[in-house]
Amino acid sequence: MPLPEDSRLMSDRCFLSLKFGPQQQKLLHTYQQPEQWPEAKWHPASNLHLTLVFLGQQTLAVQLQLWSQSLELLHELPPFELCFDELDQFSQAKVLYLGVSQPPEALMALQQKLQQLALPFLHAPATEHFLPHVTLARKFQSAGAFPLSVEPLRLLCTEVALYHSISTDQGVSYQPVQTYTLVPNS
Cα separation of 79 and 112, whole Å? 17
What tens digit of pLDDT does each residue of 72-111 get?
999 989 999 999 999 999 988 899 999 999 999 999 999 9
Mean pLDDT of the chain, nearest integer: 90
For residue range 20-74, list pLDDT tens digits in order. 999 999 999 999 999 999 999 999 999 999 999 999 889 889 999 999 999 999 9
Domains located in the chain, CATH noted: 5-181 (3.90.1140.10)
User: Does the predicted model carry a pTM greater than 0.85?
Assistant: yes
* Alpha carbons 105 and 127: distance in angstroms, whole number: 18
Percent over 90 (pLDDT), the chain: 73
